[in-house]
Structure 1
């Protein structure tokens, strides 16, 4: 391009996003796969304080996000960004597309059924016992999965098996007469209305009704509690509602914000091919839509970590688990050092016993010196025995303490015998 005619701003943004994607997509894959696996593992342990029904939905959402990362990000966008030409020789693009769109539909509609579940649990106590149960949630998730697969079979017949290495909503080579066909255009238009157009409207409607119901119920609950003038404990029911609503709203808002750009571009592109040219969008909107949509598959774990205290604890435990052997070894080494110092102090105390024989004034000096020599020999013998026991069984603290106790008892007995002999000799002398 001539310097006198610089590139338009839209093209410069597009080229900058292409360069960013070379780092963004691999980083997203490296983070997204282990994060979703950790989320599935943590939630499956059921130690986060969530009900079985909610846990079932959250595990399904994390599993669908993991599939989207593998099928869409790793097997579609990364080969396109790095231009892996060997993909041209793999005639599986139509099957890939059907599975990709089915996984995307599952990821979207699992969020919808979770929103419906929370709406029923909060606003309808009659349906709560039937709908908000583990068996019901599994049946609903299975139904959504089957319907998503059936809905996206049409992509198999719209696409050929050959890949088209362009970062476009259509990443496969189309069959003849599909591009400008009103019938296939209606099918594609319906696809984007069902995912994610209609879910947007449904989420906003359900969340509005949920907020309205909660505000009315909270006012009535406060009035009843205010009638009691005594000291009132913390309202756990209100606290549980608040946590559930915060989790629901953050997940729903995250879904809408990260999906709206991609949906708008896809609908505009189809209308453009059908002849509606009055609207115009720059192509960097497409790239931003892809990047934000794929980011939505990695953000739910961060949402759980921010809003759920018990999830954070479980996440920290799993992250620390590979380093536990090293931590335990360091702790054991510290305990061993402490044990050695403690037993060294015990040995010093054993050499200098608390009870000693003081010679009487009328006791002969030779006898006193003899007793001192014998007593010192006994102390040295006791110290040698303790040292030998330390070298043989250093780690076994209980055995060391028992050995020291036996020696002290033996010493005490010998001292008592010596005192008895001294008394007998004094009686003889008198």
Structure 2
């Protein structure tokens, strides 16, 4: 996204980049966990009887990443379609459909090539994960972008609030409708053979709802809306989302497949309450995570330019950071395996969660410098390919 000259627009874009940057660093922690704590895997939802509080809340923090990315992708698409000039006057709208389709297809290409290889160093099994969900959601938004914004908002709300009612629908492999429903709502394998396996880890239907909501909320960042009014909207969205979460989840009414229960301690009771389904993301999951995103967007818009500047840097080139950190982790794991061998069953890993956080902190410092260089390079050049990173 092009940098804008007015102070209001700098704050506006900076707050979005800071939000992206924060979830990128949280994602880094989670991916370090997936590399070096794989001997203690977590399920979805998590098993609170076998998951320590430190592991539980580390994983819970990562739940904020995907909803934030997808929502901000939709919001950024609206900003792309409705640009402003240096005098804060509206410019002619741009063809967002073409941009979304091209970028969505590019992200899908990355998912089944560079990203898949970074996790398994092979292509025997393709895991269609978060980038698949983002790519498909962008293409879906492109197809639906001709609709009035109010209809996109209604459709997004219907999907996000209604998809939990579809949980009882299921298909078995080879049954008509199985492949489509697996891609939309039930994670699983859509192809299993000796040559190739394809597993849908991120069913896309709820994520399509989230990107539609993000696009519909784009005018919150219009120049016609001043900072104070936008702040009231963000706080209002936070309050409504959190209140609905407390009501629906607190009373086990609707929106989550696994009801919470009182446990033997306060911490495990809290874990039960926050033990939310991510695949696909339940209504409770989305209300909880998007509430936090709205609050942080409100807060980030009120920090000084010199505060949390490193978050702005990481968030300005998210795709570059995403691919870079995956391959750095792949190399790190290979080196560790060569030096220490499999010290945790079939894996090489560490003993404690605090070590995962320490490794992630060190990596963030190391990766900051190439990310900062690429961010500066991108801001000074207008090559078309840079828009995709």
Structure 1 length as normaliser, TM-score? 0.28
Indicate the structure whose relative CO is greater, using CA pairs within 8 Å and at least 6 residues apart. 2
Higher helix share: 1
